[in-house]
């Protein structure tokens, strides 16, 4: 399958599972302070300004355990400035789709 076809396929499968309440992607505010020292010196001021303006977020992919019905973690990435998925969405959707096939979560196993 071509990469763009694979991505489209992932999106369709994810949407069907999402509508069934089995998977979800959600944003959560990242309360860890963004460490601007991780960035190039010339970018730090701009990064700090953007973080202030758009917030710092985590993107989380989850699946619902068919047994206990709790939402369980599939994938997550933190310290994202603004709610731009940075290209993580297809990979995260695939992880949630994969986990949604499980009979139950690790806690129920």
Instruction: Report the interface residues with Zn ion, using CB under 5 A.
Output: 65, 67-68, 104-105, 108
d(CA 9, CA 15): 10
**Residue 107 beta carbon to Zn ion: minimum distance, rounded to whole angstroms:** 5
d(CA 84, CA 80): 8
**Residue 65 beta carbon to Zn ion: minimum distance, rounded to whole angstroms:** 3
**Residue 67 beta carbon to Zn ion: minimum distance, rounded to whole angstroms:** 5
Toward Zn ion, which CB reaches closer, 59 or 65? 65
Toward Zn ion, which CB reaches closer, 20 or 68? 68
**Residue 68 beta carbon to Zn ion: minimum distance, rounded to whole angstroms:** 3
Toward Zn ion, which CB reaches closer, 10 or 74? 74
DSSP assignment of the chain: --HHHHHHHHHHHHHHHHHTTSEEEEEEE--SPP-GGGS-GGGHHHHHHHHHHH-EEEEEEEEE-TTT--EEEEEEEEEEESS--TT-HHHHHHHHHHHHTSSS-TTT-
Toward Zn ion, which CB reaches closer, 27 or 71? 71
């Amino acid at each position: 399958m071509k990469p763009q076809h694979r991505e489209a396929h992932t999106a369709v499968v994810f949407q069907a599972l999402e509508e069934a309440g089995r998977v979800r992607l959600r944003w959560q505010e990242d309360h860890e302070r963004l460490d601007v020292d991780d960035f190039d010196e010339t970018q730090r001021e701009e990064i700090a300004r953007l973080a202030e303006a758009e917030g710092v977020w985590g993107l989380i992919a989850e699946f619902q355990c068919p047994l206990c019905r709790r939402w369980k973690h599939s994938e997550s990435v933190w310290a994202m400035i603004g709610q731009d998925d940075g290209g993580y969405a297809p990979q995260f959707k695939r992880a949630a789709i994969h986990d949604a096939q499980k009979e139950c979560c690790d806690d129920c196993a």
